[in-house]
Amino acid sequence: MVNNKVRIAVVGATGAFGMKHLDGLANIPDAEVTVVAGTRAEATQAVADKHGVPNAVVGLEAVLERDDVDAVILATPTQQHAAQTRAVLAAGKHVQVEIPLADSFADAQETLAAAEAAEAEGLVSMVGHTRRFNPSHQLVRSKIDAGELNVQQMDAQTYFFRRSNTNAKGEPRSWTDHLLWHHAAHTVDLFAYQAGKIVQANAIQGPIHPELGIAMDMSIQLKSETGAICTLSLSFNNNGPFGTFFRYIGDTETYIARYDDLFNGRDEPIDVSNVAVSMNGIELQDREFVSAIREGREPNSSLCQVMDCYRVLGELQEQLA
């Protein structure tokens, strides 16, 4: 760190989530983005110019050899996450990797072992489980911590309309997204975070798409150690409102969370503007990463904390296979 600022590289900066991280980091006084990396030099330079970042490079290796980078945010394709996380830690740099950490439980376990060894050297490792940081879910968590709410059931819908391999910006992807290892990971982790360790999990899926090679529809049931249950419906076939929507059914109140916004069971809005310093979940996630590095502590959504999510996903994968 220089002048107590954490010097950060954003890898995958030209993608939709790379840009979201750059927008969030711009609001964090203790963070300084010193380099962005992508796969195409011209597009990466354009992102650097737009966000006022002094250096643009191609590939992760070009980042790891630099001495002006303390920490790396990986917003790269899912299939690269685990190996790249291990590479960043091996280079002696802090890391935040976008969700999911891995697309197999074995790869997640190998990465956790690397993170635990790196933690002994003072390195922070974190996974971008953004739902932990959205103000809407933070408010529900505060009710749970205060003993004012016990979750009895969570109903979640994750819906998109997808007919080709494109990203959130509508641009072609070099990799294929996945309902289980990416989108379900958000809800599996959030349910355990809010309701306790998952002790039972079941999944079924619809037909495999002939070109994309993935299931376009999926249904997941979960049960936590507290007895709470979760029903998660996921689809790439939904031609309607996109995104993930959560209904918390508690013993004292019902809450509906739509990203950073929160409503009660009667669909009346709840003010969450004072829950945190920002209404942007990605920014709050990045603030936690930077603060954990500066304070030398484990962050919320550390690799260790989210590992049980990948255990559950691995069990569900075995069922679906």
Q: How do strand 217-224 and strand 198-205 relate by DSSP bridges?
A: antiparallel
List, in order of start, the domains of the chain with CATH numbers. 6-129+281-302 (3.40.50.720), 134-275 (3.30.360.10)
Within 8 A by CB and 6+ apart from 6, the residues are 30, 31, 32, 70, 71, 94, 290, 293, 294
Rounded to whole angstroms, how far apart are CA atoms 170 and 42?
19
Rounded to whole angstroms, how far apart are CA atoms 158 and 5?
37
The pLDDT of residue 4: 85
Half-sphere exposure (Cβ direction) of 101: Cα atoms closer than 13 Å: 32
pLDDT per residue, tens digit, the chain (321 aa), is 777 899 999 999 999 999 999 999 999 999 999 999 999 999 999 999 999 999 999 999 999 999 999 999 999 999 999 999 999 999 999 999 999 999 999 999 999 999 999 999 999 999 999 999 999 999 999 999 999 999 999 999 999 988 777 666 667 766 678 899 999 999 999 999 999 999 999 999 999 998 888 899 999 999 999 999 999 999 999 998 889 999 999 999 999 999 899 999 999 999 999 999 999 999 999 999 999 999 999 999 999 999 999 999 999 999 999
Sheet containing 31-38: order of strands: 56-58, 31-38, 6-11, 71-74, 94-98, 125-128
DSSP 18: H
Helices (H), the chain: 16-25, 41-51, 61-64, 81-90, 105-119, 135-145, 185-195, 281-295, 303-320
Would you say the pTM of this structure is higher than 0.85? Answer: yes
H or E element, residue 235: strand 229-235
Structure tokens at 4: 């107590």
